[in-house]
């Protein structure tokens, strides 16, 4: 376990689940540079940890109110060199979003309250986002006088189409968890009193899945978004070769023959 007192992110790994808990209630879960670094380092380590089978990102009453611009622009701080944002964002917020997409483990985001800016993008870049019906997803970039980051212009059109992406990005309209689910923006929304149970059930299902095959399939899906069918099928052939050599594949065949549910161990 990593103490989250400095960056505001508590990192815990136990029983195959990596839990990244944003713990900054006084800042509505906003992430400073240290918190982003904690999440990046945890995900990079998780990508080669064979004991892990699923990642869960959660917070308190508010999921994440975005990057902590207040902390980053305190009075008296030295003015950065020109181009600072362009240089640093690549290895900070942008790297975090890339890792959520790249890691060959399923990532679940559990969203209560506000998911704004970077917080919204963390949820959308996760493989499964579950939100309460009254959660609020908001991308107020233009409303604050600057342009989007964290993959917003790539993720949103692919999830909700160009027209709705423009509504969210150009008009800065917030959308509830229920509407986000209806639009295909997130996995699902549930009433608040069913939230914890729904998150636990999904994490448990993914934990018990065939981890190697699941991770390869995730990679294929993301790769196919920017390639043609021939490239996708070539990648599928390579992934099939790898997944068919796993113990989980053999267990799947035996379970089918014995007419029972498979008992995968992630190997």
Domain 211-257 classification at class level: mainly alpha
Segments making up each domain of the chain, as ranges: 9-207, 211-257
Mean pLDDT of the chain: 91
- Per-residue pLDDT reduced to its tens digit, 83-107: 666 667 767 899 999 999 999 999 9
Rounded to whole angstroms, the Cα distance separating 10 from 102 reads: 22
- Residue 257 dihedral angles phi and psi, to the nearest 5°: -65, -40
Rounded to whole angstroms, the Cα distance separating 240 from 207 reads: 21
Closest CA to 267 of 255, 249, 241: 249
- Per-residue pLDDT reduced to its tens digit, 121-137: 999 999 999 999 999 99
pTM beyond 0.75: the answer is yes
| pLDDT for res 6 | 65
Say which CATH topology domain 9-207 has.
2-enoyl-CoA Hydratase; Chain A, domain 1 (3.90.226)
Closest CA to 105 of 222, 219, 267, 204: 219
Question: 3-state DSSP helix/strand/coil percent for the chain, to nearest 5?
Answer: 50, 15, 35
**CA pseudo-torsion sign 215, 221, 223, 224:** positive
């Amino acid at each position: 376990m990593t103490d989250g007192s400095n960056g505001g992110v508590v990192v815990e790994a136990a029983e195959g689940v990596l839990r990244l808990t944003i713990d900054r209630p006084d800042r509505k879960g906003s992430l400073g540079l240290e918190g982003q670094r904690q999440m990046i380092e945890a995900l990079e380590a998780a990508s080669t940890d064979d004991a892990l089978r699923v990642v869960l990102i959660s917070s308190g009453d508010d999921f994440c109110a975005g990057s902590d611009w207040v902390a980053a622009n305190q009075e008296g701080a030295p003015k950065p060199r020109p181009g600072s944002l362009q240089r640093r964002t690549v290895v900070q917020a942008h790297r975090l979003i890339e890792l959520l997409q790249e890691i060959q483990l399923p990532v679940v985001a559990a969203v209560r309250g506000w998911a704004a800016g970077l917080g919204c993008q963390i949820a959308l870049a996760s493989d499964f986002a579950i939100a309460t019906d009254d959660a609020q997803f908001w991308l107020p970039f233009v409303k604050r006088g600057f342009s989007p980051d964290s993959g917003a212009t790539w993720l949103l059109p692919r999830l909700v189409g160009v027209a709705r992406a423009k509504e969210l990005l150009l008009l800065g309209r917030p959308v509830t968890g229920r509407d986000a689910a209806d639009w295909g923006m997130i996995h699902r929304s549930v009433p608040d009193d069913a939230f914890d149970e729904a998150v636990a059930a999904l994490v448990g299902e993914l934990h018990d899945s065939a981890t190697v095959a699941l991770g390869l399939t995730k990679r294929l899906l993301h790769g196919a978004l920017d390639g043609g069918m021939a490239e996708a099928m070539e990648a599928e052939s390579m992934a099939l070769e790898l997944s068919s050599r796993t113990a989980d594949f053999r267990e799947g065949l035996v379970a089918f023959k014995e007419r029972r549910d498979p008992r995968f161990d992630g190997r």
